[in-house]
Amino acid sequence: MLIAQISDTHVKTPGRLAYRRVDTAGALAACVASLLERRPAPDLVLVTGDVADFGQAAEYEQARALLAPLPMPVHVLPGNHDRADAMRAAWPDQDWALDSGPLHSVRDQGPVRIVCLDSTVAGQSGGRLDAEALDWLDATLARAPDQPTIVALHHPPFLTGIAHMDAMGLEGREGFAAVVAKYPAIIRILAGHIHRPVQALVGGRLAMTAPSPAHQVALDLTPDGPSRFILEPPGYLLHHVLPDRTIVTHQVVIGDWGDAHPFFAEGALID
Ligand SMILES: [Fe+2]
């Protein structure tokens, strides 16, 4: 089973560029084209937040239109650029776990259970998992403790060393790590927010962020590095759940890189 994770699409209303520079709609269209070409096709597309740039209903309408060509289900969770009410209204067909408040959700996909946590705080860039959210996570994981499980949330539950992103990181990381440490069936922790792929161990589980199909956050590990983005190659993650229920993650670079070339000709390595 294949799960494509796209993150931080930052869709704006038609004709508008993010930060007056980034064609996020064109970037998402290119991402969708890449997903449509992929063989085998992903079974699910998981969007780990910042679907819209300013959480406007018209931005969600545009995002849904851009995602519409995908034949597989698309599952979304909110990021700090999203607005809970507008997102709930834009995805009435998604099975949200709670009737109001945080946009948590659970999806059973083949052998895997995907538990999506809302880590957002209204009006704030940084995220937070309070006791209520951690209790919900713990209780949800406890319902199927032996099922292979992915936990997904927008804000990564680890520091990245990119100072301006860590400054708007996740409060409650220790509590989160303590909960996930209790469940060995967690095969991956997935996040976004950082607009570039970063990995770390959290509570003994591998946690990772996805690149953005649009703009990336510049890799700047200086302690006072400014908040800047860079138009490095866009991408997404492809999580492959193998028959033995282990998971392997590939990073896909979006774009036309030409045809694949052979290593061998007439049975010998090409010299
Ligand atoms: Fe973002």
Write down the pLDDT at residue 1: 96
CA of 156 to the centre of ligand 1 (A): 12
271 within domain boundaries: no
CA distance 31 to 66: 10
**Which residues are near ligand 1, the ion (C-beta closer than 5 Å)?**
8, 50
266 within domain boundaries: no
170 within domain boundaries: yes
Mean pLDDT of 229-247: 96
Distances (CA, A) of 107 to 62, 74, 114, 215, 227: 24, 11, 5, 28, 34
Percent of all residues in the chain with a pLDDT value above 70, rounded to a whole number: 100
pLDDT tens digits for range 175-227: 999 999 999 999 999 999 999 999 999 999 999 999 999 999 999 999 999 99
CA of 10 to the centre of ligand 1 (A): 7
User: What is the DSSP code string of 176-190?
Assistant: HHHHHHT-TTEEEEE
pLDDT tens digits for range 94-138: 999 999 999 999 999 999 999 999 999 999 999 999 999 999 999
CA of 79 to the centre of ligand 1 (A): 7
CA distance 101 to 118: 9
170 token code pair: 């996740």
Average pLDDT of the chain is 97
CA of 52 to the centre of ligand 1 (A): 9
Write down the pLDDT at residue 186: 98
269 within domain boundaries: no
Is 33 in contact with 25 (CB distance < 8 Å)? no
Those residues with Cβ within 8 angstroms of residue 230's Cβ, 6 or more apart along the chain or in another chain? 215, 216, 217, 218, 219
CA of 140 to the centre of ligand 1 (A): 27
87 within domain boundaries: yes
| pTM exceeds 0.75 | yes
pLDDT tens digits for range 144-169: 999 999 999 999 999 999 999 999 99
Q: How many folded domains does the chain comprise?
A: 1
86 within domain boundaries: yes
Write down the pLDDT at residue 119: 98
- The CATH number of residue 180's host domain is 3.60.21.10
CA of 110 to the centre of ligand 1 (A): 29
255 within domain boundaries: yes
Show the domain range for 121: 2-261
218 within domain boundaries: yes
Those residues with Cβ within 8 angstroms of residue 244's Cβ, 6 or more apart along the chain or in another chain? none
